Amino acid sequence: MKRVTRRVSSVISLKLHSRMDRILLAIFLTAWTCSASPPNFVLLFADDLGFGDLGSYGHPSSLTPNLDRLAAGGLRFTDFYCSSPVCSPSRASLLTGRYQTRSGVYPGVLYPSSIGGLPLNETTIAEVLKPLGYATAVVGKWHLGFGSKGMYLPTNQGFDHYLGIPYSHDMGPCQNLTCFPPDIKCLGTCDVDVVTVPLIHNEVIIQQPANFLDLERAYSDFATNFITTSATKKQPFFLYYPSHHTHFPQYAGPDAAGKSLRGPFGDALLELDNTIGKIMTTLEKTGAINNTLVLFTSDNGPELMRMSRGGNAGLLKCGKSTTYEGGMREPAIAFWPGTICPGVTHEMASTLDVLPTITRLAGAKLPKVMLDGVDMTEILVHRGKSQRETMMFYPANPSEKYGLFALRFGKYKAHFYTRGASHSSTTPDQDCSVFAGLKAHDPPLIFDLEADPSEHYPLSLEGQPELQAVLERIKKVKEQFEASMVFGESQMSKGTDRGLEPCCNPDCSPKPDCCHC
């Protein structure tokens, strides 16, 4: 298989035309699927990390030696999108390859007492891989539902093992959160009248409240153990690590607190980076490294309202909860020594494309549902063209009434509606603020994202017949897409039930304080 890889890469350097490339790719994949061990997958998912937060994306003071190593030795994307500017919907799309509107994980996010969750009849990446004998595990922030008796936990969605907090770590009274120096309170607006956040192993609460100072150690031990066990058994594996970092409030254990140049945010990011380093070391030690695709990205843009303790969208406009670029364009890195050549790609790709790509690389079967993702293997394996021509932008609260807020088609992005958000307030740009209410644009605001990635200068349609034609095309694509969109029943509108909040001591009273073990 190594020989095949080398032969393919030397042929690529001859720049054969795309048909030939496709044939070679087919040969390559056939050789692969016939080889003894299908590839492993490690999916690293940061939280509220912006386009400008990593050193490899231009941040001057972030400390991320391990992510820098992945970026230097892997493929770095400049035009990679998540599917929603907020958390739960974005995660639903990552794991299913479908817009959140189809699965019903909208509007907004799930809460500890939410009745709904990612519907169990949706097919996750883990469920795609299980029939091929993969070992599957998730460690960290699930945020796709807890529900009655934990019915929406990952162990019911194709994952063999789970260790983590099932939602955001500010969805509880913020206990045990520490920064450096310890007398600086990390506390922001955590939710107070809720159970403290539980640490769950598979379906069982093993700690409540979770001990944040020790959490990252527990996570990296779990990940190390999972990789080592799978590699020893020669079982292919899929590890999904959705980190709590760098969601507010920032925290970090002793190995990272006070160790970055960037204050509490930098320390939290460094702690995430440390864990990624441990995962990479384990992949090397077990000999799995050359047969493992490692993907890194983030769920949505930075929470700018936290100011220097939130993330940074770099040169992109606005952040979390908006459909400007800063809300949904994310850092993304694909690393696979010997198979993915180091470099940078400007091809358009999305979290939606992860499921189809993993399915292809593993030789698995695609779920028989309407998918929104496309296979990005050609981009990864020989820097080919993206099959993705468009990216759809739904707001945090999508509705059939308004439909898409924006649509990217090639290098052009058209905004049909814009709106600021509290999550993106406090920046000098007034368009990002919560006071920038819903605004319809007819004709839409159009930007050339190659010439103007910051969405500063809307293009004038006057006397521009070519641009007029592009706009007509965009409208047509939008119409076709929206005709194909069947909104799934909203999981969030099923409401909440305080009795569902995870409690390690279910019959105790008075709640929520007695849920303490």
Ligand X SMILES: *[C@@H]1O[C@H](CO)[C@@H](O)[C@H](O)[C@H]1NC(C)=O
Which of 59, 82, 87, 174 is catalytic? The answer is: 87
Using CB under 6 A, which of 48, 53, 79, 122 touches ligand X? 122
Which region among 33-41, 163-171, 287-295, 433-441 touches ligand X (by CB under 6 A)?
287-295
Applying CB under 6 A, does 289 fall inside the site for ligand X? Answer: yes
Report in angstroms how near the CB of residue 337 gets to ligand X at its nearest: 6
Query: What is the side-by-side order of every strand in the sheet holding 75-81?
Result: 204-207, 199-201, 161-164, 135-139, 237-242, 40-46, 292-298, 329-335, 75-81, 343-350
Which region among 29-37, 117-125, 247-255, 271-279 touches ligand X (by CB under 6 A)?
117-125
Report in angstroms how near the CB of residue 510 gets to ligand X at its nearest: 37
Listed residue (72, 64, 67) closest to 44, CA to CA: 67
Closer by beta carbon to ligand X, 451 or else 486 = 486
Closer by beta carbon to ligand X, 282 or else 300 = 282
Report in angstroms how near the CB of residue 372 gets to ligand X at its nearest: 13
Applying CB under 6 A, does 290 fall inside the site for ligand X? Answer: yes
Which residues lie closer than 8 Å to 407 by C-beta, 6 or more apart? Answer: 390, 391, 392, 393, 413, 414, 416, 474, 477, 478, 481
Closer by beta carbon to ligand X, 221 or else 489 = 489
Report in angstroms how near the CB of residue 40 gets to ligand X at its nearest: 12
Closer by beta carbon to ligand X, 116 or else 311 = 116
Which region among 38-46, 116-124, 184-192, 502-510 touches ligand X (by CB under 6 A)?
116-124
Which region among 218-226, 283-291, 460-468, 495-503 touches ligand X (by CB under 6 A)?
283-291
Using CB under 6 A, which of 39, 116, 119, 398 touches ligand X? 119
- For residue 508 the two structure tokens come to 């105790």
How far apart CA 240 and CA 225 sit, in angstroms, is 14
Using CB under 6 A, which of 10, 13, 121, 460 touches ligand X? 121
Number of C-beta neighbours around residue 516 at 10 A: 14
Number of C-beta neighbours around residue 443 at 10 A: 12
3-state secondary structure of 242: strand
Report in angstroms how near the CB of residue 119 gets to ligand X at its nearest: 5
3-state secondary structure of 434: coil
Rounded to 10 degrees, what is the CA torsion of 301, 384, 455, 96? -40
How far apart CA 159 and CA 137 sit, in angstroms, is 5
Residues 318-377 that bind ligand X (CB under 6 A): 337-338, 369
- For residue 267 the two structure tokens come to 């320390």
Would residue 87 show up in a list of annotated catalytic residues for this protein?
yes
Applying CB under 6 A, does 151 fall inside the site for ligand X? Answer: no
Number of residues that bind ligand X (CB under 6 A): 10
Applying CB under 6 A, does 509 fall inside the site for ligand X? Answer: no
From first CA to last CA, the distance across the chain in angstroms is 51
Which region among 84-92, 114-122, 253-261, 294-302 touches ligand X (by CB under 6 A)?
114-122
Closer by beta carbon to ligand X, 47 or else 122 = 122
> Is the separation of the CB atoms in 343 and 75 below 8 Å?
yes
Listed residue (436, 424, 323, 373) closest to 85, CA to CA: 323
- For residue 437 the two structure tokens come to 């209410």
> Is the separation of the CB atoms in 109 and 493 below 8 Å?
no
- For residue 159 the two structure tokens come to 């994952």
* x/- map, 387-416, ligand X, by CB under 6 A: ------------------------------
Long-range Cβ pairs for the range 509-512 (8 Å, 24+) = 511/195, 512/193, 512/194, 512/195, 512/196
Closer by beta carbon to ligand X, 41 or else 412 = 41
Would residue 515 show up in a list of annotated catalytic residues for this protein?
no
Applying CB under 6 A, does 422 fall inside the site for ligand X? Answer: no
Amino acid at 132: L
How far apart CA 218 and CA 361 sit, in angstroms, is 30
Which of 17, 59, 82, 143 is catalytic? The answer is: 143
Q: Which residues bind ligand X (CB under 6 A)?
A: 119, 121-122, 284, 287, 289-290, 337-338, 369
Which residues are identified as catalytic? 87, 143
